[in-house]
C-alpha cells in the first residue's frame, strides 16, 4: 500500500515539470522568432514558392539588418557564385574576411570562398593569393585542390605537379594519373620550343609516374618520327598493343605513315587487316579503308569493306563500301572516256544512272555518319568528335575511352 501511495505523489509532480518545460520551450521559440527580421520569413516564403530572385533580395536585406548572420552571408555568397554573379559573391566574402570581430575559423572559410570567387571570375592572381593564405589549417586540403585547378587553367604544369604531390601526401590519395599527364604537357611544351631532349626526359618521367599512361609512348613515337627514325617510332606505337590495345586506333595513321616512310605499305595493310578481325574494327575502319584505297585501289577497298560488313555490319562500313563502289565506277567511266577500257562492274557494263544512284547513296550515308558522336566522357557525358586527354567539359584527366560512344550500325 505504501508503494501505491508513493506513485500517486510522484506522477502529478512529473506531469507538472513536463508542462513547465514545454511552456519554457514555447516561450523561447516565440522569442527567437520575434528576434528574426520579417525579411527572413519573406525569403523563406519566396523560396517555397520557387521565386529565387525575390528570395535573394529578402535575404540580402536580412544580412544588411543583422551583420552577425555569418552563415547567411556564406550561403548568399555561394549562391551568387553559382548564378555567375561573381562580383556580388566577391563583395560578400571580402566583407566577411575583413571583419575584425570574425573568429579565425570563419575568416579562413571566407578566404577559401573568396579564392573560388576569384577563380570563377578569372582573377587568377588574386585567387592564388587568397588560397595561399590557407596552406595550413582545416581548409588546407580544400585550398590546394582549388589551387591545382587554378594551375591547370593557367597551364602552370610544374606548379600543378607540386600541388598534386602535396595533396597526395595530405590526403593519402593517388594523383599519379594527373602527375603523368602534367609531365606530358611539359613534354609538349618542350617540343613546341624545339627541345626534344627535354621532351624525352619528361615523357620518361611520365612513364615512371604512371606505367599505364599511354600518352607518353605516343609522344615518344612522335619525337622519334620527327628525328627521322621511323623504326624507333614504330617500336613505341606498336608497343601500345601490350600496354592497352584499346588505344591503338589513336596511332593507326601514324603507324601507316611510318611504314610508308620505310617502304613497307604491305606491312601496314597486314597490321590493319589483323586488327579489323578484333573488337577495334569501328575505330580502325577509316584508316584501313584509306590505306587500302591508296595502296591497292577502289576495287580492293570495296572488297575489304564487303568482308568487314559480313564480319561486323556497321553504318560506317556501309558508307565506306559505297564510297569505294562510287570511286570504282567513276574510274571505269573515266577510262571509257579515254578509250582505254570498257566500263564494267562485276563483269557488266556500268550505266551512268547506276553510277549516279551509288553516288547519291554514298552522299546520304556520309552525311549520316558525319553527324554521329564519337567520344564521350565517362564523368560528365561531354561528347566530341576528337579524342581529348582532358575533358573540355569537366576538366578530368583520362576520362575519354578511346572508343566511339555510339554504335555505328
- Residue-wise DSSP of 306-354: HHHHHHS--HHHHHHHHHHHHHHHHHHHHHHHTTSS--EETTEEPPHHH
| Beta-bridge mates of residue 56 | none
Cα dist. 213→67, 162, 375 in Å? 52, 19, 19
Per the CB < 8 A criterion, the answer to whether 355 and 367 are in contact is no
- On the 0-12 / 13-18 / 19+ scale of CB atoms within 10 A, 213 is buried
Sequence-distant (≥ 6) Cβ neighbours of residue 56 within 8 angstroms? 43, 76, 79, 80
Cβ neighbour number for residue 38 with a 10 Å cutoff: 11
Indicate the SS3 state at residue 377.
Answer: strand
Provide the strand spans (E) within 120-184. Answer: none
| 391 known ligand binder | yes
Return the C-alpha torsion angle 161, 162, 166, 168, nearest 10: 20
Query: Among candidates 280, 286, 346, which has minimal Cα distance to 311?
Result: 280
| β pairing state of 383-384 and 344-345 | unpaired
Strands 344-345 and 348-349: antiparallel
Q: Are 32 and 10 in contact (CB under 8 A)?
A: no
Could you tell me the three cell numbers for 374?
A: 564519337
Instruction: Determine contact, residues 190/202, Cβ cutoff 8 Å.
Output: yes
The annotation status of 183 as a binding-site residue, yes or no, is no
- For residue 282, give every residue at least 6 positions away whose Cβ sits within 8 Å of its Cβ, in sequence order, or none: 312, 314, 316, 403, 404, 407, 408
Q: How far apart are CA 323 and CA 121, in angstroms?
A: 50
Residues that constitute the known binding site for Fe cation: 377, 380, 391, 394
Instruction: Give the residue ranges of the annotated binding site.
Output: 377, 380, 391, 394
Amino acid at each position: 500500500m505504501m508503494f501505491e501511495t508513493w506513485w500517486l505523489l510522484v506522477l502529478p509532480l512529473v506531469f507538472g515539470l513536463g508542462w513547465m518545460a514545454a511552456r519554457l520551450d514555447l516561450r523561447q521559440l516565440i522569442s527567437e522568432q520575434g528576434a528574426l527580421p520579417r525579411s527572413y520569413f519573406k525569403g523563406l516564403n519566396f523560396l517555397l514558392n520557387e521565386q529565387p530572385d525575390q528570395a535573394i533580395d529578402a535575404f540580402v536585406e536580412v544580412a544588411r539588418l543583422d551583420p552577425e548572420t555569418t552563415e547567411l552571408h556564406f550561403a548568399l555568397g555561394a549562391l551568387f557564385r553559382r548564378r555567375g554573379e561573381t562580383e556580388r559573391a566577391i563583395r560578400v566574402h571580402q566583407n566577411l574576411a575583413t571583419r575584425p570581430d570574425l573568429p579565425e575559423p570563419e575568416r579562413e572559410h571566407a578566404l577559401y570562398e573568396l579564392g573560388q570567387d576569384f577563380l570563377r571570375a578569372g582573377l587568377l592572381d588574386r585567387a592564388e593569393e587568397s588560397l595561399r593564405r590557407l596552406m595550413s589549417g582545416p581548409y588546407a586540403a580544400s585550398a590546394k585542390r582549388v589551387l591545382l585547378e587554378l594551375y591547370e587553367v593557367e597551364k602552370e604544369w610544374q606548379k600543378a605537379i607540386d600541388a598534386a604531390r602535396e595533396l597526395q601526401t595530405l590526403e593519402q590519395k593517388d594523383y599519379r594519373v594527373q602527375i603523368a599527364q602534367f609531365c606530358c604537357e611539359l613534354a609538349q611544351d618542350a617540343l613546341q620550343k624545339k627541345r626534344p631532349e627535354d621532351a624525352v626526359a619528361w615523357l620518361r618521367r611520365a612513364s615512371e609516374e604512371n606505367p599505364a599512361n599511354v600518352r607518353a609512348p605516343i609522344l615518344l613515337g612522335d619525337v622519334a618520327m620527327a628525328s627521322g627514325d621511323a623504326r624507333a617510332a614504330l617500336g613505341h606505337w606498336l608497343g601500345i598493343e601490350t600496354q592497352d590495345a584499346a588505344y591503338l586506333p589513336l596511332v593507326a595513321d601514324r603507324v601507316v605513315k611510318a611504314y610508308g616512310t620505310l617502304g613497307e605499305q604491305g606491312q601496314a595493310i597486314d597490321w590493319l587487316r589483323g586488327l579489323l578481325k578484333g573488337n577495334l574494327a569501328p575505330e580502325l575502319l577509316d584508316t584501313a579503308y584509306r590505306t587500302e584505297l591508296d595502296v591497292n585501289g577502289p576495287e580492293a577497298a570495296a572488297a575489304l569493306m564487303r568482308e568487314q560488313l559480313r564480319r561486323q555490319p556497321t553504318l560506317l562500313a556501309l558508307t565506306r563500301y559505297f564510297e569505294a563502289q562510287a570511286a570504282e565506277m567513276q574510274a571505269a567511266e573515266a577510262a571509257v572516256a579515254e578509250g582505254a577500257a570498257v566500263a564494267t562492274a562485276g563483269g557488266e557494263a556500268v550505266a551512268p544512272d547506276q553510277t549516279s544512284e551509288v553516288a547519291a547513296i554514298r552522299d546520304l550515308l556520309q552525311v549520316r555518319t558525319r553527324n554521329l558522336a564519337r567520344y564521350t566522357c565517362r564523368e560528365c557525358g561531354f561528347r566530341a568528335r576528337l579524342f581529348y586527354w582532358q575533358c573540355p567539359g569537366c576538366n578530368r584527366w583520362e576520362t575519354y575511352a578511346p572508343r566511339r560512344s555510339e554504335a555505328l550500325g
